[in-house]
Each structure stands twice: as structure tokens, then as C-alpha cells.
Structure 1
């Protein structure tokens, strides 16, 4: 028996009661195709409500958010609310076949979650195949009413979404790559709020324009929604003061260049103190190895009011594509605010000490052009996607969907960043790592030298974590932990693991459910660089996964 829309709202309101200060925010997302022009090509793209980027979701800390998603395209879809902790509400997290079956064509699903203890900038995006190339948007979580920012109040706020663009259909790009076993074609350009800026030999010259008043302070909410590129962001002639990343406040620091991996957000203050003028806003990729990357620089313009068209544009110089030093300086500058109101609750004791090696490999493939296929793996295990959602299988005790034997360390240790093994073949499986409720985890993510080592932005669903250490080469368990920052490490949901290096994170497993962990370079996720943590229920209903909603999609 189906419930009416009003009955559904009443049901979820009773299931998730809100506090006196919080509100219920209602959104309707309709997934549709829309023709658009970028980089001299007109093509239909998958959008939400016909917008690219999609609509911005606004709410306040502790608000209950209801988003009714209706699928009007021919493909299955899901939406992931990237960085939302989803306390006990994994059914609304969104990764296909991990926490839900996809929303089938012509069907709807009501995502229901509360923004408990979160404020800042996040993003939402499709979480199935490569649909997130155009199906993405911003989440802006304002502080509770009457609660000030821990930095000077800005005069205005602007959302800036960075992305990638293919002249052809991105789904066709990855499907062709999977058939041939080769790497997919890189994108053809980068976008700022859906615009590439001027393109050589192309009549289309649309660019994003940020109009500003002199003497004001703007809060820029910058989001990297690109599929496969880590990006530099810069505004000619202006510095930016970083105050928050991934919806967690930071100690303010000034920089001329932001660095964001896919899925990461950076919120920064911009002071417009140049009087008049037109200044380039530019984004360009980072890649410090031999892997091919789209080198197109996307451009927009910051334009002061009363600037005459005759005034020349102030240009800027972007960091080189392999500017590793720039990324390291930016990462080392990030520190948690760690104030009385916003403490850094870093776990000081560890129940689970894990080492995950990540990278790519080669598997045999009889139908591929070279007789082999590029794959990716964690601890040499390439993740096989199930046909039933793992959370549903866990909740109902359905056997044969997954195993809970994911190894906490490599099964065969080797020199991870040295000479690569002769056998590049990986194992396969749908494995999870089981965690007791409220246990503490230290996870060292170790990049390896398989084929072409590169920087990996990795994302953990369901939690924020603290980045307590990082380094180049192999992690040394005897020496490196002595250099950890356990006082004010940056708090994030997505972190870059340096090329042929490591990053150490800590988190508390206080959110029961099944939580995806994967590289946020979509090509690596597609190739299998992913796994899931299964966090057991604690004591009583307040420490347990809530029952699945009645409209949960079926496979």
C-alpha cells in the first residue's frame, strides 16, 4: 500500500523529530535531459530541474532535509549528499548498491536526513556510473539562527562550482573504456558554474562573471565537482582567506591559490579592495606524474561595479600542472579551529590500526583490445559491485551479497613505492571491514607505485575524520606516528593521498550502517578502488540504524 505525499511527510516527521530551533526543508529534484552548449558542442545532458550545475540546497545546522527525487531519464539514478554524516540514516546516503538500489526510470524516492552538528559548504552529486559529470550541485549549511560565524561576517556569499566537460557523452566515454580495457579519454575542458570561458576557435565564449562592489567582503563557497581532476583555483590580483573546508571550520590563513580534489570544498573570504577593474578567475588541473590530464584552463571574471569595457583585464599565472610543492603547502596550512565551541575531538587511542594500499593494476580480459583491462584496488582487492544494496543485505540478514573479511593490512607486504611487483593482477570480491559501534580507527592510506603512481583524493561516507599525518614514500609505523598532529589536525571527509606517499586519518565509528570508502577520481572508483565499512549497532534504538523507508527503491 502506497502512502500519499502528505502521509509520507507526516511519517518522516514523526520518525525524525526536530529540535525547537531546527526546521524541515523541502526540496523537489527532477532528473531530466536538457540540451546545452559548451566547448562548441550542443548535446543533451543529465540535469536536476534542468539546471547545470543543479540547484543549491540551503538549510541550517540541525535542520531536517527532505528531497523528493523523481527520475525522468532512461538510466537508473541515485544522489549522494557528499559529506552529510547521515547519522543512522544510511538509507539516504545514496551510493548505488551500497546503501540503496537505484531509482529506476519513472520512479521517485524521498531522501530524508538531518544536518546534525554540521555547518558550511558541501555538495550533492549522482552516485552511479559517470552521471555526476553534469548531475551535481551545492549544499550550503548556515549556522543556527543567532549563532555567528567564527570569522568576520561577510557582506555577501557566492557559490562557485568547478567541473569538467566532455564534448561527447561522459557515459559513452567510460563505457567505451570498459569495453577496450584502456583508460578513458580525458575531459575537453573545465567549467566554473557551468561555463568554460573563452575557447580558441570557437564562437561560444560564455564565461562566469562575478560582479562585486568595492570595499566589501565576500564569502566564496568553492566546490570541486570534477570527475577526475584535482584543481587549482585563483583570482588575479586577490588573496583569499581560507576559513572552512568540507563543512568544518579552520584556523584562517591567507593564500593566492586554493587546491581542491574532486569532492572537496573550500570556503574563503575575499576582500574587494582594488577599486575598479576586471580580473581573471581561473582553474587548472594538478597532476605530478605521467598520467594524462585535461590541461584546459577554465576562466571566468571578477568585475568591479563601474568598470568600463575599455579597462584591460588583469591576468594571472596558474601553478604548473605538476606543482606538487603548491599542493603540499596548502595541505600543511590547514588546521582545525579547535576552539571551545568547535573542538577538535581527535581519537587519542586506537582500536583498529589499518593500512590500506591503493593504486591500479592489470587483469586479464579476453574481450579487451589488448587482452587485459586496467583495474584499481585497495590492498590488492578490486571491489565487485553487488546486485543488492549491502546495507539492505546487512539489515535483513540476506546471505551471499558480501563478506566481512576485508583485510586490515596488505596480505602480501612489499615495497609499496619502490620497484613494482611483476604480477599486477588483483583479487576480486565484495568485502567489507566490520567495526564495533563507537570503536576508534586509524587508517593509513598508502599510495603505491603500480603502473603510474598519482595523487588520490579519497572519500569516506558517513563520517568526518582528522588528517593526523602525511608523508612521501612508505609509511614507517615506528617513526611516522611520532610526528602526528593530534592537537589541531584538519577535519575533512575527503583527503588527497600524495603521489607515492601516504596519509593517516583517525575517526570514531559512532554511526551504525554501511559506509562507502573510495577514491573520488571517478575512473578509479569505476575500476574498483573502493570498499565499505560495516559499523555494527550499539545499544538501543539511538545507536542503531533506523528502519528502511517504505519507498526504498528495489533492485
Structure 2
């Protein structure tokens, strides 16, 4: 973990969601209407919405700590379809692992986790003996979202049991500047930010670095500009890109301004990958010059920023199956977008992408 840091204990904080109705029915209704599912009625930490709700105020999740001790917090974003800010009042967090992979430690006062992402952070109980709120709140660029915040309490041993917890400032729901702030800690050596307008659906520009393949590039247009309606409708079909075994592959996820801007969590089934670059606006070849190739963070999921792009690299060393790059925009099945990469080792055959079936 971090050298010479003695941990007093471990705390698990699972950020989730709560619907007042049956979530299965929520999904079914969305499929029938063809629209987005109803947003949740509350976010939760370890199953409790927290002190903002009379129904759960007495059951708010409490984490007891001793002054001067170090604690390992394992934080999970188990929300279905939301990026979440996570903060602890008056405390800094030292990130040591993300998505179960160790990372070069960095200290921040706020985390941003995509759907399904995890983070291991060190917290030092170095404040006065009191109660402190920890909170999770949504980040989104959409107008239709769960506007609630969930809270838990960091409770110092010896604090006044009847005292009101110390509060904290919560970012605005669309605070993109705060969203990219933690990223700069591990990408500041490599990123030149270029600001565009807005971005939404994803295009995958795939390039094999060491084994050149004849790939078909996506249609080129001003992705983050004013996209004409003629480019809104996708082509229905499936295409497979064949990659040689052990090839080193670079993928640039480029956001577009089709329909509505958004921040997109992306992952590759069967692989972790290195994030080597990130920026706003339209990606171009000159952006690779400041790529971080020394200490690139290893991730399982990455959020493609609104108005921007992310460049990743991985080694295609899992033969005999395909891997699927998938966008989790909604939990409704027909809203998924996927591209299949077929990792070949001599003989091509029909293979099923790793992960769940996204067919109709």
C-alpha cells in the first residue's frame, strides 16, 4: 500500500441507489416507453440514505475512528447509472488503488467514481474529536437526475454523541472542473487541455501500434461542435475488428455532441488498461505528444469526460475469445453500445464477446 503507514482498521462504503418502487418494474416501464428509466428516489451509503431523510435519520451509517489513527476506506460506486462525488468533511483522502489495481498515491479532498468503479483510499483521523459528514452526490450534465445527496457519519471516539456532525460543501451536479481535478493528479504530466463545446455518444478510433491493421476509421466531423441531424442516426449492425495476439492496442474514446452531451463510463471485458491521455474537445494526432507513458494509471473503467476524449492502451494477450467495449449509459438493454475486438491466435472462429449478451 503506502510504505510506513500503519492501518488501524478498514472501512467499506458502498454507494448505491434506492427506488420507492420495484426496480424491475422501473426497467420494464422504460422498455415499454422507449425512454429513460425513472431516476432513483435516493442515493445510499451502505444501504442508508442518511440524515436528510426522516425515515433513515436514526439509522444513518456510522464509522467509528480513533484520533491519530490511519484507516483504509474501500469505496464502491454501486449506483446503476451515475457518476458520484465522494467527500469526507475536513479530511483529505490519499488514493492508493482504483479498480483493484495499485496506483501512484495522490492526495485529494474529493473522489469521482464512475458506475461500478472502486477506490482504496487512506484516511488519517487527524481532526478534533467530533462527528463529520461523508457524502455522495451525483455528477451529470443531464437535466433529469436524482437530486438527492446521501450522508454517513465519521464518528470520532470520545465525541459528543448528541452533537451535530460537521458539514461540507457539495459540488454542483454539473461541476466538470471538479470532476477533472482528481484526474490531474495522475495525468498532469501529460495532458494539454483543449476545450470544445459538448459531447455525447461515443466513437471508437482504434489503432494497433506494433502490428498495423487495416481498420476502417469512423466518419470524421466536428464531434464536439454543432452536429447536423443527418449524423444522428446510427447504422444498425455488428462489426468485428481482428487484432493479432500480443499486439499493443491504443483506443481513443471520442465524445460527440449528438443528441445530448454526457460523461461516459467505458470498460473492456476481459482487460484492464492504461490511461495514457485525456482532454477536452476533438482528439487529434498532436495530442499524443504529451501522453503519460511513465506512470500511466491502470484501470478497469474510465469516464470519458463531457466535451472530451480519453486515450487508453492495453496488450491483447487474452486469446480464444472476444472482448467487448461497452458503454453503460442506461441499464435498459437496448441503450448499450458495443464494439467487438476479436483477439486472434492463428485460426478465426465464431466467438461470443466476454460479458453479457446485448442482443435483442
Shared fold, TM over 0.5: yes
**Could you say which residue in structure 2 is the equivalent of 1:440?**
248
Secondary structure in 2 aligned to 1:334?
helix
Q: What count of residue pairs does the alignment treat as equivalent?
A: 329
Secondary structure in 2 aligned to 1:428?
coil
> Residues 241 and 151 of structure 1: is their aligned pair in 2 closer, same or farther, counting only changes over 3 Å?
farther
**Could you say which residue in structure 1 is the equivalent of 2:229?**
422
- Aligned positions of 1:147-186 closer than 5 A: 150=3, 152-186=5-39
CA deviation profile, 1:266-287 (whole Å, cap 9, x unmatched): 1111111224211111000111
Find out whether 1:310 has 2:148 as its counterpart: no
**Could you say which residue in structure 1 is the equivalent of 2:179?**
327
**Could you say which residue in structure 1 is the equivalent of 2:152?**
300
Structure 1 residue 155: Cα displacement:
2.0
TM-score, normalised via structure 1 length:
0.56
Structure 1 residue 524: Cα displacement:
7.3
Structure 1 residue 333: Cα displacement:
0.8
- Taking the aligned partners of 1:167 and 1:317, their CA distance within structure 2 comes to 27
CA RMSD after TM alignment: 2.6
- Taking the aligned partners of 1:501 and 1:525, their CA distance within structure 2 comes to 25
Find out whether 1:209 has 2:62 as its counterpart: yes
CA deviation profile, 1:436-490 (whole Å, cap 9, x unmatched): 110111100000001111110111121111111111111112x111121111111
- Taking the aligned partners of 1:407 and 1:425, their CA distance within structure 2 comes to 22
- Taking the aligned partners of 1:320 and 1:222, their CA distance within structure 2 comes to 21
- Taking the aligned partners of 2:275 and 2:91, their CA distance within structure 1 comes to 29
- Aligned positions of 1:118-157 closer than 5 A: 150=3, 152-157=5-10
Structure 1 residue 228: Cα displacement:
1.0
Unaligned stretches of 5+ in structure 1?
1-147, 337-357, 361-376, 381-405, 540-544, 546-555
2:268 touches 2:323 (CA, 8 Å); kept in 1? yes
> Residues 359 and 525 of structure 1: is their aligned pair in 2 closer, same or farther, counting only changes over 3 Å?
farther
> Residues 483 and 149 of structure 1: is their aligned pair in 2 closer, same or farther, counting only changes over 3 Å?
closer
- Taking the aligned partners of 1:313 and 1:528, their CA distance within structure 2 comes to 41
Find out whether 1:480 has 2:287 as its counterpart: yes
- Taking the aligned partners of 1:247 and 1:335, their CA distance within structure 2 comes to 19
CA deviation profile, 1:303-340 (whole Å, cap 9, x unmatched): 1112222333111111111111111111111369xxxx
| Displaced runs of 4 or more, over 6 A | none
Find out whether 1:507 has 2:359 as its counterpart: no
**Could you say which residue in structure 2 is the equivalent of 1:144?**
none
> Residues 149 and 483 of structure 1: is their aligned pair in 2 closer, same or farther, counting only changes over 3 Å?
closer
Find out whether 1:281 has 2:146 as its counterpart: no
1:378 touches 1:530 (CA, 8 Å); kept in 2? no
**Could you say which residue in structure 1 is the equivalent of 2:262?**
454
Structure 1 residue 500: Cα displacement:
2.1
> Residues 466 and 320 of structure 1: is their aligned pair in 2 closer, same or farther, counting only changes over 3 Å?
same
2:65 touches 2:154 (CA, 8 Å); kept in 1? yes
> Residues 480 and 160 of structure 1: is their aligned pair in 2 closer, same or farther, counting only changes over 3 Å?
same
- Taking the aligned partners of 1:379 and 1:273, their CA distance within structure 2 comes to 45
- Taking the aligned partners of 1:535 and 1:510, their CA distance within structure 2 comes to 8
Structure 1 residue 407: Cα displacement:
6.3
Structure 1 residue 525: Cα displacement:
6.1
Secondary structure in 1 aligned to 2:96?
strand
**Could you say which residue in structure 2 is the equivalent of 1:551?**
none
Find out whether 1:490 has 2:297 as its counterpart: yes
Q: After the TM superposition, which of the residue ranges 463-472 and 442-451 deviates more from structure 2? A: 463-472
Structure 1 residue 199: Cα displacement:
4.2
